Structure 1
Amino acid sequence: MAPKVQALLILATICCGAVYSAPADKEPVPIISQESDIQPDGSFKWSYESGDGTKQEQSGQPKQIEKETPVVMQGAASWTDNEGSGHQLTYTADENGYQPQSPDIPVAPEIPPAIARALEYNAAHPEQDGE
């Protein structure tokens, strides 16, 4: 279980901490505030805000899951893209995987009614094995 959770946590960190390489003719973006707190029990909390309005925060704490104790995390990020549109992302990464929430995440279309009925029928009438 721990390798899966660790892989998801690494993915979450990469997704939220992607580094933007500014063109050489642009001024660097200053960091307005930054905090970091790491505790001996493995829990942590960090955050920052940059001069362009980008904000990110993340916290984590060990959680006993069966025989393992991975660090489960939650966090948030907000930024403005090059077109001036604002974006927000919140997430949790735990034994249930990486769970992002954002208005920017596409939503799957509804299942057509005929297909939904077929799926319900199939679930109610499973095939008999070996007969």
Structure 2
Amino acid sequence: MKFFIAFACLLAVAVANEDANILRAEQEVNVDNFKYALELDNSVNVQQKGDLNGEEWVVSGTQSWTSPEGVPVSIQYVADANGYNVVSANPPLPTPPPIPEAIQRSLEYIRAHPPKE
């Protein structure tokens, strides 16, 4: 959760450095949910909402902007107990490199030999 708050702050600072004007800014913060939206005149559009599900936060959001090259960029994500997961991205995110063979063998060994309590 701290990551998303920090990321939103960094995005806001980066956007603020471009002297963009705010077209829409909405926020609602409650004990068990929140939502906010920010739209600027330089094509930046950020929306995020979160709900407390028991003791776990489930956060989803979208971010979109136009790159300096004029390419529209958008990301849709969900964050929960399973971590941060990109649901869709345009342009598509690059494929991560494969896990090195030595690391893969180490992970398999750890799975096969769990620590004793």
TM-score of the superposition, structure 1-length normalised?
Answer: 0.62
Q: Contact 1:16/1:77 (CA < 8 Å) preserved in 2?
A: no
Offset of residue 42 of structure 1? 2.3
1:74 aligns with 2:74: no
Greater gyration radius: 1
- What is the distance in 1 between the residues matched to 2:70 and 2:9? 20
Amino acid of the residue matched to residue 49 of structure 2?
A: S
**Distance change (3 Å), C-alpha of 1:13 and 1:106:** farther
SS for the counterpart of 1:82 is coil
AA at the equivalent of 1:54: V
CA distance in 2, matches of 1:91, 1:38: 20
- The answer to whether the aligner puts 1:105 opposite 2:93 as a matched pair is yes
Partner of 1:61 in structure 2? 51
**1:41-96 CA-partner distances (Å, limit 9, x unpaired):** 320110010011110000001012xxxx1322000000111111110001111011
The offset of 1:104, in angstroms, is: 3.5
Q: Percent identity?
A: 26
Match of 2:20 in 1: 29
2:39 is aligned with what amino acid?
A: E
Question: The residue matched to 1:57 in structure 2 has which SS?
Answer: strand
TM superposition shift of 1:16 = 4.7
Q: TM-score, normalised by structure 2?
A: 0.68
Partner of residue 29, structure 2 = 38
Partner residue, 1:51: 41
- Are 2:4 and 1:12 equivalent residues in the alignment? yes
CA distance in 2, matches of 1:49, 1:71: 24
Question: In the aligned structure 1, how far is the partner of 2:38 from the partner of 2:64?
Answer: 11
Residue 90 of structure 1 pairs with residue 82 of structure 2: no
Partners of 1:76 and 1:89 within 8 A in 2:
yes
Aligned residues: 98
User: How far apart, CA to CA, are the structure 2 residues paired with 1:48 and 1:84?
Assistant: 20
Structural RMSD (CA): 2.6
Q: Which has the higher strand share?
A: 2
